[in-house]
């Protein structure tokens, strides 16, 4: 009997194989789209890594996976007095108390404050953390920046909370979204 390889760690053979397959598929889709759009290899798209994609007020946004600790539905949020209105309270994340930020209220998006959904992304950077409540998590994607891709502002989210446009390759071509500036959010929450 031969010993079975350990497939549970992030450096396991299975994880490495899946990452390699993801990269190959993304590269082929990118080449096919470039060919369809009449681009040559000189017009490049720079890969910027895998991101978690989500929707807030109808806007498609993304954050780097390296800044995400966890995603899911918050079961328990404990309200606390004397907090800003966008801080719904705190939650227990494996023994650590983390603030819960309702991004719709923080960005003053009309009619979106009180919702039953508790879909949250636990974001962290520089020792700061928050559970950011969003409308919907759409998945993870390998994102690209493209030369000449124009920036745009979003009606619901101030421009300084955006880190620029990006795109991902899908079955029907390029899909565009905006990079969300996690550091700016956490700094703003800390100063309030």
- The tens digit of pLDDT for each residue in 122-160 reads 999 988 999 999 999 999 999 998 876 666 667 789 989
Distance CA 10, CA 21 (A): 15
Q: Which residue has the higher pLDDT, 33 or 85?
A: 85
**Torsion sign across C-alpha atoms 109, 190, 100, 59:** positive
Dihedral sign for Cα atoms in the order 163, 167, 57, 118:
negative
Query: Are 185 and 68 contacting, i.e. CB atoms less than 8 angstroms apart?
Result: no
Question: In angstroms, how far apart are the furthest CA atoms of the chain?
Answer: 64
**Domain ranges (residues) in the chain:** 47-192
Question: Of 62-76, 112-126, 141-155, 160-174, which has the strongest mean pLDDT?
Answer: 62-76
Q: What is the CA radius of gyration of the chain?
A: 19
pTM of the model: 0.74
Tokens of 102: 């309702």
Q: What topology does CATH give the domain 47-192?
A: OB fold (Dihydrolipoamide Acetyltransferase, E2P) (2.40.50)
């Amino acid at each position: 009997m031969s010993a079975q390889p350990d497939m549970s760690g992030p450096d396991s053979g299975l994880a490495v194989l899946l990452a390699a397959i993801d990269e190959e598929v993304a590269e082929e889709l990118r080449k096919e789209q470039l060919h369809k759009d009449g681009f040559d290899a000189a017009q490049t798209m720079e890969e910027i890594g895998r991101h978690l994609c989500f929707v807030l007020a109808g806007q498609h946004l993304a954050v780097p996976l390296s800044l995400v600790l966890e995603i899911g539905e918050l079961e328990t949020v404990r309200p606390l007095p004397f907090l800003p209105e966008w801080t719904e309270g705190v939650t227990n994340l494996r023994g650590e108390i983390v603030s819960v930020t309702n991004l719709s209220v923080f960005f003053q998006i009309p009619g979106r404050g009180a919702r039953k959904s508790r879909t949250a992304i636990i974001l962290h950077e520089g020792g700061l953390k928050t559970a950011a409540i969003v409308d919907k998590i759409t998945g993870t994607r390998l994102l690209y920046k493209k030369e000449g891709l124009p920036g745009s502002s979003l009606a619901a989210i101030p421009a300084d909370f955006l880190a620029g446009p990006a795109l991902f390759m899908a079955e029907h071509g390029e899909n565009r979204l905006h990079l969300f500036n996690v550091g700016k959010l956490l700094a703003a929450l800390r100063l309030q």
